[in-house]
Each structure stands twice: as structure tokens, then as C-alpha cells.
Amino acid sequence: MENTDLFEPFDRLVEIEILGRKVSVPENNTLLRCFQYLSMESISYGEFCWNGDCLNCQVWIQNGDKEKALMSCRAVVEEGMKIVRMNEEIQITSNPDESSNAVGQS
């Protein structure tokens, strides 16, 4: 896969849910990198500072019966995370379909 040097080293993919869709993304990486993994172009060219200043990467995850805001450029992905809302700057344009992203990464 191209661009693997963008990502922190990972041995496996973990499953998370983005707006109700299950996707597989590389463990050990920030959520924003995981979005980039799913949608390389739109995230790479999006308005993201990648260092905690702009808040364009903000997402809200399910936290019990509440929502919790996270900066996806800072928060490391965890298996089973459920993202229920995202800043509109985050455009995941490729089909986040685990079958197309999980190939060869078991």
C-alpha cells in the first residue's frame, strides 16, 4: 500500500463505527490518520492543522448515554469506538467498507 509511512506502525486493523458504518482502521494511530486511511485524498487536502489548533477534526463519540468530543488528530483509535458526529470538514469520500480496506492487513 502506498503512503504507509504516514501511519504509525500497526500489526492489525481494529473495528470502529463511523456514523453507523463499521470500518476497519489501523490500530495505534490517531483517528484523523484512520480517516485518512479510509479516504486518503479528502483528508490529506482537508483544512487540518494536525496539531490541536483548528478543531476542524473534532468528532463526538458515544460515551455511555452521552457524547464526548475528541480532537481526532490527538485521540488514538480504540477498538469499538463509535463516532456519532463529526465536524463537517471531515469528508470520508471513499466507501468506508471494511472489505475494501482490510485486504492483506490481517
Q: How far is the CB of 103 from ligand FES (least distance, A)?
A: 28
Give the nearer residue to ligand FES in terms of CB position, either 76 or 102: 76
Q: How far is the CB of 51 from ligand FES (least distance, A)?
A: 6
Give the nearer residue to ligand FES in terms of CB position, either 10 or 48: 48
Give the nearer residue to ligand FES in terms of CB position, either 72 or 101: 72
Whole-angstrom distance, CA of residue 24 vs CA of residue 98: 5
Site residues, ligand FES (CB under 6 A): 48-50, 52-57, 71, 73
State which residue has the least CB distance to ligand FES. Answer: 73
Contacts made by residues 84-88, CB under 8 angstroms, sequence distance 24+: 84/19, 84/60, 85/19, 85/59, 85/60, 86/18, 86/19, 86/58, 86/59, 86/60, 87/55, 87/56, 87/57, 87/58, 87/59
